[in-house]
Structures are given as structure tokens and as C-alpha cells.
A = this chain, B = another copy of it.
Amino acid sequence: MEELVKRIQQDGDVLGDGVLKVDSLINHQVDPELMEKMGHLFAEVFANRKITKVVTIESSGIAPAIFCARQLGVPMIFARKSKSLTMNEELLTASVYSFTKQVTSTISISRKFLNESDRVLIIDDFLANGQAAKGLIELCQQAGASVEGIGILIEKSFQDGRQLLEEMGLEVVSLARIASLKEGEVTFLEADA
């Protein structure tokens, strides 16, 4: 997606150690118009997959996921990173290691919101080593739901997340694909959409 690539070039900061900071448009301050365009683009790309639920993980995936779900006319579910007092029922859970936060956390979705008739589109902001997406896929598998595709805003193509997901037979659509962050420079591969 040309607009996203331009915005990363314009507003992204490379912090070193493979960290790209896009907190003025995605992760902290959020550009609603860009989010809407990206959410709608995912809805268009996966239009023929008969999606019944859009699944993401709190917090940065919520904005693009809600626009995508709105466009597809289906509910959005965001997996929780911590357990709330009001989550008192059966949970689907998976362990996820976060590179950014350097901790392993347990993510969860209430069992009642996913079942074997669901066809899920997973949306997330970043794909790096694929651990968050893998955790979300595990939650879907536990529920017997099928994962119909994975929509990613920014893929770090120099890490192995995409390969991991494709080896599971899943279609990954990334709106920006980053070849390298070396020497503070962002270089891109051709995006999927």
C-alpha cells in the first residue's frame, strides 16, 4: 500500500536493533483515515473468504481490525493480554513472547466467541517473528475455527514470521514489507496489497 509506505518513510523512526517506531500513526497516536483505508483494503482482499469474525490482539491491532470488520459486516474480537475480573468463563489461551516488551504473556479469548463454524481473518499491526499471530492461530485452532487469512500492516521481512505462517499454509497479506532497517534506513520489498 503506497500510502502506508510513504507514511513510514516520512514519519517512521528506526531505533536500532530492528525496532521501527511508528507511534505517530499506528501505535500510540493513530491516523483514523489511514486506518480506515487499511481496514477496507483487507476487507477487499479477503472478500471471497466468507469471513465470520475478525480477530486481533490488544491494543494496536484494534483500529485497523474494527474498520475491516465494519466493512465485512462481522464482529471483531480482540484477544486479551491480561485477565480481567469479568472474564469468568472458559478461556482459549496461548503463550506469546513479545520482542518489544521482552516478556512471555498469556493471551486469551473467551471460548463462547469462537466456534467450529467460524472463518477468521486475523489482523495485526506488526509481523516480525510471528509469535503473536501464531498465538492467535492457536486460539482459533482450539475453538475449531478456520483461519482464512492474515492481514498485517507492517511486515519485517528480514525476520522469519512470514515464513512460519506460510509453512502453516496460511495466506499473509502485508501492506508494507520492510527488507531492512540497517544503519537507520528503512528499505522496502514490494507489498502484497
Contact = CB atoms under 8 A, between A and B. Distances in A.
A15 interface: yes
A142 to B, nearest CB: 16
A94 B76 CA distance: 30
A37 to B, nearest CB: 11
Copies of this chain present in the complex amount to 2
A63 B60 CA distance: 11
Nearest to A108: B28
Contacts of A28: 77-78, 80, 87, 109-110, 113
A88 B15 CA distance: 9
Interface stretch (A17-25, A132-140, A160-168, A175-183): A17-25
Given A30-B76, A59-B62, A66-B66, 5 more contacts: A28-B109, A29-B77, A62-B62, A85-B100, A85-B102
> Lowest 7 A-B CB distances belong to which pairs?
A32-B70, A58-B59, A32-B69, A62-B62, A21-B86, A30-B76, A59-B59
